[in-house]
Amino acid sequence: MDKLDKILSSMPKAKFSRQVDIKVKFKLYRLIFLEKLKSFNALPAYKMALAYKGLAFILAVTAIFSATSIYAYASNDIIPGTPLYPLKIAIEKIEQKIAITSTAKIDNYEKISNRRLQEAVNLSQQENKIVSEKINKNIDTNIANNQKIKNSINKLSDSEAVAAILQAKKRDQKELESLNKIADFAKNRNDEAVLQKVNEAREIINHQEYKQDEEIKYQDIKTFDLQSDNDENNNINNKNKETGSTYKKEKIDKIKSSSEENLLLYNNNSD
């Protein structure tokens, strides 16, 4: 290769600027997109109609499944023996797994416990005796969940436990009402098996003791931070945290409505 060839071959080569490169690529991709859109629109009318119908079908199935799941999950009419009951149980299991904290677990157990009892009440209204087994199974689940609630409450801190115990006691009262309803229906059917189970459940509720109950009553109530469903109570609590007097009085009244022995202990402590 002579000198001229060498010079010609080693002429400097420029590079396309990155900025312009991006602009050109954008143009090309835009054209690709428009081509694809064109080809879709060019589909024969019947194919496009099929594509839209398919999409509409999928959306409809999804909507129906979602609606069914919500109905199955929320409805007390979905009782053991109905087709959607397994779906309801499956959703509850998922919900159980999602509940990680102690308070979330307690809420979950309470929800399920309440549901089982409501289902048992609905089952009780049926005439046949085949339902006895199902009712008893539901009550057993209710009892088991109550035990889980109790165990979970024991793991809570004192301040959290106060609210949880109050809530649990309210729930206990409601459960007793449901059990009474079940017992009435069972009596009408002369269903001894169910009556026995109901009595068992009542006994457990009536002798229910939450371990921290006694300890909490001896604490200085000024440090309490009760979470109540009653907004008014919350306002009073917050307002009187500084003074404590009205708050204290309400608390005393509440404790008075429980055992006298505990009240004596409280008064001794506050002196």
Partner 1 sequence: MRKNKENFIPYYNQFKNKIYNYFLYRVGFNKPLAEDLTSEVFVKAFKNFDEFDEGKKFQSWIYMIAHNHLVNHYKADKHEVSLELMEDFLHYADTSAEEKYEFERVLKIISSMEGSDRDVLQLKFIDELNNQEIAETLEKEEGAIRTQISRSLVKLRKILNINVEE
- Contact residues toward partner 1 (CB under 8 A) are 4-5, 7-17, 20-21, 23-25, 27-28, 31-32, 35
Helix, strand and coil content of the chain, in percent to the nearest 5, comes to 80, 0, 20
CB nearer partner 1, residue 5 or residue 127: 5
CB nearer partner 1, residue 32 or residue 51: 32
CB nearer partner 1, residue 7 or residue 193: 7
Paired tokens of 164? 């949880």
Q: Nearest distance from residue 43's CB to partner 1, in Å?
A: 14
Q: Nearest distance from residue 12's CB to partner 1, in Å?
A: 4
CB nearer partner 1, residue 3 or residue 97: 3
Q: Nearest distance from residue 13's CB to partner 1, in Å?
A: 5
CB nearer partner 1, residue 1 or residue 98: 1
Angle formed by the axes of helices 131-155 and 192-206, to 10°?
Answer: 10
* Alpha carbons 84 and 72: distance in angstroms, whole number: 6
The helix (H) or strand (E) run that includes residue 239 is helix 231-239
Q: Nearest distance from residue 44's CB to partner 1, in Å?
A: 16
Q: Are 227 and 168 in contact (CB under 8 A)?
A: no
Q: Would you tell me how many other CB atoms lie within 10 Å of the CB of residue 197?
A: 25
Q: Nearest distance from residue 49's CB to partner 1, in Å?
A: 23
Q: Are 159 and 214 in contact (CB under 8 A)?
A: no
